[in-house]
Amino acid sequence: MPIPTSTSRTPSFKSVAIGAAVALLSGIAINSIAAAAPGAYDKQFLSKAADAGSTEIAASKVAQSKSSNAEVKKFADAMVTDHTKVADELKQLASSKQIEVSDQPGKKHQAQIDKLSRLEGAQFDKEYAATIGVAAHKEAVKLFTDASQKASDPDIKAFAAKTLPGLQHHLEMATTLHTAVGK
């Protein structure tokens, strides 16, 4: 007895349904990946935050070795410790988002550190407190405040919000230090 065979090339309802489901799930997966990828603002924030942090660390290491003022050294020690911890967190976050960030200050900040390195004594302390202490922390507080509100990636937004109070505290410390060494 011959076995009936179908010569029709019309797909069955089951194969059409499976094909539609695969196409739908593929579209959802692609949209999820696209939604998960940080936007330009988020990438720029991570880059600027890494630059600011590496600048704080490098300049504070100079202060640790150059300053003879105990308060400046204490502030510099805190900056190296705290900013190194934040820099490590930032690198891990950026890496998890497939974003590469530098661990070295940018050209503008490196020039600022080089200029600072040429100063001595009270002049060094005043300049370090003013530029790396107060001015740099004002910029960082603004950068992190903005990112805590504007970042599209929830992890980046949370990182900015979590880091912000520490930076605000550093700004308070820097302002106090600047007042003390400015006399």
Q: How many Cβ atoms from other residues are within 10 Å of residue 116's Cβ?
A: 19
Cα atoms in the 13 Å half-sphere on the side-chain side of 149? 5
Per-residue pLDDT of 72-111, as tens digits, reads: 999 999 999 999 999 999 999 999 999 999 999 999 999 9
Return the structure tokens found at 106: 């940018």
pLDDT score at 16: 55
90, 159 contact by CB (below 8 A): yes
130, 73 contact by CB (below 8 A): no
**Is the per-residue pLDDT at 112 higher than 80?**
yes
Cα 117 from Cα 108, distance rounded (Å): 14
Cα 116 from Cα 125, distance rounded (Å): 9
Identify the CA nearest to 46 among candidates 155, 138, 131: 155
pLDDT score at 140: 97
**Least confident window among 17-26, 79-88, 150-159:** 17-26
Per-residue pLDDT of 55-68, as tens digits, reads: 999 999 999 999 99
